[in-house]
Amino acid sequence: MVESNVYLVTGGAGFIGSHLVDRLLQLNLGDVILLDNFNDYYSPLIKQ
């Protein structure tokens, strides 16, 4: 049986996550799974 590495990147659509995904793909170390919720919600407390 052949083993393969699988990398899960949370926040993969953000700045840091997207660069990490790019680098993992360049290194060809295994499969990359990107997880992001693309939520535009923010807390009303931040606005205050």
Closest CA to 34 of 14, 9, 17, 15: 9
Number of domains in the chain: 1
pTM, full prediction: 0.73
Tokens of 39: 């939520």
Give tens-digit pLDDT for 6-48: 999 999 999 999 999 999 999 999 999 999 988 777 777 776 6
CA atoms within 13 A on the CB side of 17: 15
**Which residues form the domain of 23?**
5-47
